[in-house]
Chain A
């Protein structure tokens, strides 16, 4: 017996409406829609500083806005808590519907290698493109930015390429 009766599944379009609603509130409250990877870049740059690297001197961080965002980054970063909230919201939903289980990473190291390799490609690519599916596809296209459309088209080609290339190893 589940602790609370939740609708078993919402249709996909309900997820689409959730994104549109939350992004609209974010635009009003924060002036920018949901993004993930810019915050992760700042976090990784701060970690890199701990091991003696000097990312703040890199060309990427020379724009006034990005320099500011990097030096302001800390435990009270808004984007950090927005994304922690997403993990928290999934956790609440999973616990209430009894779907949450800790699932250990599988032993075959091939799977771990694919996970790390895919992550590296995505992190590297997202930084070059100023963001990921969240910030650019769902954020820049509704911002009426031409760059969002270029990103969406080329990402589609990238997925096509990825499917062809990785199909045999998956």
Chain B
């Protein structure tokens, strides 16, 4: 029995032991650790990468991941809608990620998108590559951490550059039926566009 095999068989019990340890300190943190394990396991087994959903579509006309991201978006849009509507009815604060739009959003997304090309992946691919043992991604992580601090320092300047639009929750503006119908049409339309783009790319090559 070689050493690698022993380490491999010890990994799941070790992960469970960490969950037990965390449970004593905070059951919620233990749950988040377990959810992280599930997410990491699933993303690694499926070779998932959001950065590649953009990059490989552009570079190679390869849109398998693009369509998988659209599937994730369609499913979670539906489940989040139920969770958000329940919160709205009960008067609880609206769950989810709702942020304002400003020049900071546009500049930030542009720099973020450009940066994931030389880095070879976005923040989530960095976590995946680290788990796979790629030491190079420690450098990417260090860059993200340092860049985050600089971004936080400059944030007020970027946000004051042009107008700032308060967070827009689409159902509050156009209602749930139009929001969900519009989103599903967009996800489906983009998936069709991805298939068309892939076929067109294959013809060219």
The chain A residues found within 8 Å of chain B, CB to CB, are: 3-4, 6-7, 9-20, 22-37, 40-41, 43-45, 47-48, 55, 58-61, 76-79, 81-96, 98-106, 111-112, 114-148, 150-163, 165-166, 169-170
Contact = CB atoms under 8 A, between A and B. Distances in A.
15 contacts: A7-B45, A14-B46, A18-B38, A23-B80, A40-B144, A85-B34, A86-B39, A92-B40, A103-B134, A116-B142, A129-B104, A131-B99, A134-B123, A144-B96, A153-B109
A105 to B, nearest CB: 4
A25 B93 contact: no
Given A95-B7, A126-B151, A159 B134 contact: no
A127 B107 CA distance: 10
Contacts, number: 528
B76 A23 contact: yes
A147 B105 contact: yes
A99 B143 contact: no
Contacts of A123: 143-151
B72 interface: yes
Contacts of A15: 42-43, 45-48, 68, 72
Interface in B67-82: 67-73, 75-77, 79-81
Given A16-B75, A143-B97, A144-B80, A86 B40 contact: yes
A146 B92 CA distance: 21
A119 B108 contact: no
A119 B143 contact: yes
A162 B117 contact: yes
Contacts of A138: 50, 69, 72-73, 76
Nearest to A61: B152
Contacts of A93: 40-41, 44-45, 131
B127 interface: yes
Interface residues of B, number: 122
Nearest to A28: B83
A22 B110 CA distance: 28
Contacts of A87: 36, 40, 127, 130-131
B115 A119 contact: yes
Given A7-B45, A121-B114, 13 more contacts: A45-B152, A79-B32, A90-B43, A105-B136, A111-B136, A114-B119, A115-B139, A119-B144, A124-B154, A125-B107, A127-B148, A142-B79, A162-B114
B138 interface: yes
B115 A82 contact: no
